[in-house]
Amino acid sequence: MARILVVDDDETIRRALVQVLRRAGYEARGAENGLEALDVIKAEQFDLVATDLVMPELDGLELIKELAHARPGIKVIAISGGGIWDKQSLLTTAGMLGALVALEKPFEMQDFLAMVEEVLGAPPA
């Protein structure tokens, strides 16, 4: 079973994504920001990280850079609504840093699940 970490400072979004992933058959958990995500990743193995880009503490772009060094094989989906930043620029930068795909907020849950399956290469067992 694929293990997925959802990183988003918006608790409602984070919980909804974790719940959707669990219902789809994945093992999923959440982290509030990049710093918390790094702590979780040091202690546990994940196949995929789905991260928001605009967050306090350690943003998603910095998290993607850290993951490239700490866990080079981990797959990343970048998610952003942009906030005060241009979301297309953020998502493009995330791709240059190693995110395999980017998803713009707001999005449909079935689009998120389809993207997860695409990145992992198969639906959950």
Domains of the chain, each with CATH number or no CATH: 3-120 (3.40.50.2300)
The structure tokens listed for 96 are 């240059």
Q: Distance between CA atoms of 22 and 26, rounded to whole angstroms?
A: 5
Instruction: Give per-residue pLDDT as tens, 55-99.
Output: 998 999 999 999 999 898 899 999 887 555 555 676 677 788 888
Residue 125 has a pLDDT of: 64
Give me 25's structure tokens.
Answer: 């058959």
Q: Note the pTM of the prediction, 2 decimals.
A: 0.91
Task: Give the pLDDT confidence of 7-64 residue by residue, as tens digits.
Answer: 999 999 999 999 999 999 999 999 999 999 999 999 999 999 999 988 998 999 999 9
The pLDDT assigned to 96 comes to 82
Q: What is the DSSP string of 60-88?
A: HHHHHHHHHHH-TT-EEEEEE--TTS-HH
What are 49's two structure tokens? 């990280």
Tell me how far apart the alpha carbons of residues 106 and 79 are, in angstroms, rounded to a whole number: 9
